[in-house]
């Protein structure tokens, strides 16, 4: 069993927090809120996750800062994101992890309830997400990650 931590930021509706909580309920993984904690020694972790809602196609600025400041060399990392579009936005993490020789071993994405800007007028998009199925998928994603080292 690896020594794992997930660094998260979930500031819009707590969507991403629901996902990381579901994982932490099933597995021995530490959660760190990057909006509260800005420095941490990650050298003792075998597996490091970065989880974020997506804002203007980007991981949360505090996640980007945290990775840039704290991610040691040669770590296995993974990404979790919730967004209105349910797309892979992890390209936005390329710059913060540049030069750290990180191995990206998995990516998970799901819909997250969104009431940003004009969407508020129509009651928001992706209402009800992450739902039970999304959370189940997230747990399975993580199970695979710790079992076979990749997901
Ligand atoms: C300021 C802002 C900008 C957003 N920009 C995007 C975006 O570019 N693409 C997208 O798919 N969703 C976008 N969203 C929707 C969020 O990514 C989605 O609601 C996410 O699940 C929020 O996660 P959180 O509740 O954990 O913060 C945006 C939401 C906000 C509040």
Give the start-to-end residue ranges of the domains of the chain: 4-148
CA distance 50 to 145: 14
Q: What's the pLDDT at 2?
A: 61
Query: Which residue's CA is minimally distant from atom 4 of ligand 1?
Result: 55
Homologous superfamily (CATH) for 4-148: Flavodoxin domain (3.40.50.360)
Whole-number Å distance, alpha carbon 135 to ligand 1 midpoint, is 18
Whole-number percent of the chain with pLDDT over 70:
99
DSSP structure class, residue 72: P
Give the ligand 1 atom nearest the CA of 8.
26
1 has a pLDDT exceeding 60: no
116-108-121 Cα angle (round to 5): 15
Q: Which residue has the higher pLDDT, 125 or 119?
A: 125
Whole-number Å distance, alpha carbon 148 to ligand 1 midpoint, is 31
**CB-side neighbour CA atoms (13 Å) of 14:** 4
Give the ligand 1 atom nearest the CA of 12.
27
Mean pLDDT of all residues in the chain? Answer: 94
Q: Which residues contact 29 (CB under 8 A, 6 or more apart)?
A: 4, 5, 6, 23, 49, 142
Beta carbon of 8 within 6 Å of any ligand 1 atom: no
Query: CB atoms < 10 A from the CB of 136, how many?
Result: 12
Mutate to test the pocket of ligand 1, among 13, 114, 119, 123 (most ligand atoms within 8 A of CB): 114
Q: Which residues contact 15 (CB under 8 A, 6 or more apart)?
A: 53, 82, 112, 113, 129, 130
């Amino acid at each position: 069993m690896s020594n794992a931590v997930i660094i998260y930021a979930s500031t819009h509706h707590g969507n991403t927090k629901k996902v990381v909580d579901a994982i932490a309920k099933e597995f021995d993984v530490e959660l760190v809120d990057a909006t509260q904690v800005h420095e941490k020694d990650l050298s003792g972790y075998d597996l490091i996750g970065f989880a974020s809602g997506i804002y203007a196609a980007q991981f949360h600025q505090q996640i980007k800062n945290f990775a840039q400041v704290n991610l040691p060399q040669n770590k296995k990392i993974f990404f979790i994101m919730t967004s209105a579009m349910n797309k892979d936005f992890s390209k936005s993490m390329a710059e913060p992890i540049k030069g750290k020789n990180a191995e990206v071993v998995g990516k998970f994405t799901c819909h997250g309830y969104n009431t940003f800007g004009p969407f508020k007028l129509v009651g928001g998009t992706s209402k009800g997400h992450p739902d039970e199925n999304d959370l189940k998928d997230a747990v399975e994603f993580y199970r695979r990650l710790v079992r076979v080292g990749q997901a």
